[in-house]
Structure 1
Amino acid sequence: MRFGFTEEQERFRASVRKMLRSAEVRAAAAEATGADGVEPDARPLYRLLGERRLLAVHWPVEYGGEGRPLTDAAIVAEELVHAGVPDTLHVNTIQIVGQFLLMAGSDEQKRRYLPALARGEGFASVLYTEPDAGSDLGELRAVAEPDGDGYRITGTKVFSLKTRFVDLGLCAARTTPGTGKYQGISLFLVDMAAPGVTVSVIPSVGDEHFHRVDLDSVPVSGDSLLGPRDEGWPLLNEALAIERTGLDYHLKAEHWLKAALDALIDGDQDSAHDAHLERIGRWHGALAADHVLAWEVLTGLATGQVDQVSAAVAKYHSSELAQSIAVWAADVPSPGQRAHRSRAALTLDSAYREAPGLTLSAGTSEVMLQIMAAAFDSIGQEEH
């Protein structure tokens, strides 16, 4: 995709949309959508999607996929959000942990985990962030100490989503302390039902709950190590670039703007509509540019090109845009809509509470700007 989609991509999109319009999927999506701080279990919905082979279409057939290009997986992701499917389990399980397994997992790890994830029978989460380290893995304190043929992991992880619903955690821990901030870090696949794992909810204002995961000498086997020992940081850098397409944030921004337009159309503020027209036009223009940025990254990834700078630009633009739309749209529902708790008002209330975290997850906006600045500085030095 440069500025449009091929006929084959449009046919594929139409077939996905048709499957998602079934009464069974629509009912399950409605049941899985949270509001007012209540977070329902979305796993039954994902099992339906897995039965329809919609969760991991770009994975090899032997691992439960359809062998389609990565760009088709992005089309599915767009249509899932358009159909009202809460996307966090899909992002964490398929787009992050599943993609990490495809990139760095052993053949045995892929055979063991990927088919269940693709069927919607297994779910995964990311265990990186720590209480005193934030998103800076250079301050990582969790340790994995050798124990026979395996390891025992001790530490605390925070701010992971959907963690009480998942079976597998992708955990970053130090295997060789004292070797430097970004050295000696390894990645492990942790059974979330293992002894020593405690998951608790962190109170927050969002409808999706953050979790704290305490790891108390949790046993993991040697074959739970994902990638080479002590080489977690280079793997994380590559995986984060893949994660930062910006598409998921773009879809949130698009969804929230649509809810604001619905509120304006259905509300009792007809005289105020004209005041929003210029702003709405600017939002639509920004969303169109945002979509192109995301798909430029995706198209590159589909051909094996990981461009960290383009990914940083897409992530920065999309997360800042989504946050800005959420803040603006919070004032759109009329008093009557708020009092009667219309669907649009509930959506925009939830968006306002979720928005602050968008410029933090997958790398803060400040980190994205640093990546861009370093690239421009390097270009400037080469020119001189």
Structure 2
Amino acid sequence: MRFGFTEDQRRFRAHVREALRSPEVRAAAAEATGADGVEPDARPLYRLLGQLGLLAVHWPVEFGGSGRPPTDAAIVAEELVRAGVPDTFHVNTIQIVGQFLLMAGSEEQKRRYLPALARGESFASVLYTEPDAGSDLGALRAVAEPEGDDYRITGTKVFSLKTRFVDLGLCAARTTPGAGKYQGISLFLVDMTAPGVTVSLIPGIGDEHFHRVDLDSVPVPGGNLIGPRDGGWPLLNEALAVERTGLDYYLKAERWFDTALGALIDDAPDSGHEDRLEQIGRWHGALTADHVLSWEVLTGLAAGRVDQLSAAVAKYHSSELAQSVAAWAVGIPTPGQRAERTGESLILDSAYREAPGLTLSAGTSEVMLQIVTAAFESVGQEEY
């Protein structure tokens, strides 16, 4: 970016926007959008997006993509959210699990799984977090016991999204218990329809439901081990840095901010809303800076640079900003809040209920600050 887009990127963005304006996509997006705690099945929408070739544009052609630059994938992500497409399937399936496979999977694993993900015919989720471990993956207790060349995984995972709809779970488990906090961890692709997998709902206030996944001696083929046995921790560190661009949180904040502005105009179109102008200006400035910050991380990744510090800063800033915007926006009057609610009121109500989890997912704000602190302490030690 720095600090604008190329002509090719602008043409590509226009192409994506045109595709997302079709009546078929708009109708499917409306059907896939949850409200008031009801979570619809968004898979039909994603199958349509897969047919349009919009899910994994940056993947190699042999794995279902279009071979475009990684920055074009960010352009697609922006336009999907701005078109009202619920983004969780895209984030989990393409940006996290699919990207992890592209980075660390074997050629056979890539050919077996990636094309179906790119076509919107298969979906994936992440199985990292555990009830007693929280965001500390070094405290996970799930165990993968060897059975010949294969494994059986036993443990419990929590707070995954869309899990009742997915086919695959990217699961972290210990293959050598007692090896050390960050040693002996391996990563597996788990068939979510395999015997021993039980998915249950965790009660919550959001329109997207969290799930608990109980794994009771679940059979996992040895071919579903990703990377080397006991070598999961370095892969997780790199994958999390790639995941933490901040773009997905920025896009939520942008949508909520724009919706709040629309509600203000609808509430009193002739009013200048002088009492809110200063805060509106501050939010606009913060969002502009956040967008640039996310694209700095993205362009670095496109150039092959994985910068954990920049990623932690982007994730911290964007998730905290989105949470703050949601808390401010819920106070904006929207017509029909008490009776026949408008689309604006539904979006802002949903934002307020979703926002608390943003500073927890993909690493808590406290963890991001620890990464930043450790980086600066390291620089200070080198100077002295």
- TM-score scaled by length of structure 2: 0.98
Quote the residue 2:215 is aligned against.
215
Deviation per CA, 1:49-73: give whole Å up to 9, x if none. 0001000000000000000000000
User: In 1, Cα distance between the equivalents of 2:207 and 2:195?
Assistant: 29
2:116 paired with 1:116: yes
- Indicate if the aligned counterparts of 1:268 and 1:336 stay in contact, CA closer than 8 A: no
How far did 1:268 drift? 4.8
Query: How high is the sequence identity, in percent, across the aligned residues?
Result: 83
How far did 1:367 drift? 0.6
Deviation per CA, 1:313-334: give whole Å up to 9, x if none. 1000000000000001111124
Quote the residue 1:184 is aligned against.
184
User: In 2, Cα distance between the equivalents of 1:297 and 1:338?
Assistant: 42
- Indicate if the aligned counterparts of 1:126 and 1:169 stay in contact, CA closer than 8 A: yes
Deviation per CA, 1:97-156: give whole Å up to 9, x if none. 000000100010000000000000000000000011101011100000011220000000
Give the length in aligned residue pairs: 384
Unaligned stretches of 5+ residues in structure 1: none
User: In 1, Cα distance between the equivalents of 2:271 and 2:11?
Assistant: 41
Quote the residue 1:2 is aligned against.
2
- Indicate if the aligned counterparts of 2:335 and 2:341 stay in contact, CA closer than 8 A: no
User: In 1, Cα distance between the equivalents of 2:336 and 2:14?
Assistant: 37
How far did 1:175 drift? 0.3
User: In 2, Cα distance between the equivalents of 1:194 and 1:333?
Assistant: 48
User: In 2, Cα distance between the equivalents of 1:268 and 1:70?
Assistant: 42
Task: State the AA in 2 paired with 1:283.
Answer: W
For residues 302-321 of structure 1, what are the structure 2 equivalents within 5 Å?
A: 302-321=302-321
Quote the residue 2:374 is aligned against.
374
Deviation per CA, 1:18-58: give whole Å up to 9, x if none. 00000000000000000000000000000000001000000
Deviation per CA, 1:214-258: give whole Å up to 9, x if none. 000000111010110001110000000000000000000000001
Deviation per CA, 1:324-379: give whole Å up to 9, x if none. 00001111124744433111111010000000000000000011111111111111
User: Secondary structure, in 3 states, of the residue corresponding to 1:201?
Assistant: strand
- Indicate if the aligned counterparts of 1:338 and 1:345 stay in contact, CA closer than 8 A: no
Quote the residue 1:281 is aligned against.
281
Deviation per CA, 1:263-321: give whole Å up to 9, x if none. 11111596682211110111000000000000000000001100000000100000000
User: In 2, Cα distance between the equivalents of 1:339 and 1:262?
Assistant: 19
Quote the residue 1:139 is aligned against.
139
- Indicate if the aligned counterparts of 2:127 and 2:157 stay in contact, CA closer than 8 A: yes
- Indicate if the aligned counterparts of 1:250 and 1:287 stay in contact, CA closer than 8 A: yes
- TM-score scaled by length of structure 1: 0.98
User: Secondary structure, in 3 states, of the residue corresponding to 2:273?
Assistant: helix
User: In 2, Cα distance between the equivalents of 1:101 and 1:336?
Assistant: 46
Task: State the AA in 2 paired with 1:40.
Answer: P
- Indicate if the aligned counterparts of 2:47 and 2:120 stay in contact, CA closer than 8 A: yes
User: Secondary structure, in 3 states, of the residue corresponding to 1:339?
Assistant: coil
User: In 1, Cα distance between the equivalents of 2:296 and 2:338?
Assistant: 39
Q: Which moved more, 1:326-335 or 1:204-213?
A: 326-335
- Indicate if the aligned counterparts of 1:64 and 1:114 stay in contact, CA closer than 8 A: yes
How far did 1:202 drift? 0.5
User: In 2, Cα distance between the equivalents of 1:272 and 1:193?
Assistant: 56
Question: Using a 3 Å threshold, how does the CA distance of structure 1 residues 338 and 285 change in structure 2: closer, same or farther?
Answer: farther
- Indicate if the aligned counterparts of 1:34 and 1:208 stay in contact, CA closer than 8 A: yes
For residues 219-230 of structure 1, what are the structure 2 equivalents within 5 Å?
A: 219-230=219-230
User: Secondary structure, in 3 states, of the residue corresponding to 2:339?
Assistant: helix
Question: Using a 3 Å threshold, how does the CA distance of structure 1 residues 29 and 83 change in structure 2: closer, same or farther?
Answer: same
Root-mean-square deviation (CA), in Å?
1.1
- Indicate if the aligned counterparts of 1:249 and 1:358 stay in contact, CA closer than 8 A: yes
2:352 paired with 1:352: yes
Quote the residue 2:205 is aligned against.
205
- Indicate if the aligned counterparts of 2:196 and 2:217 stay in contact, CA closer than 8 A: yes
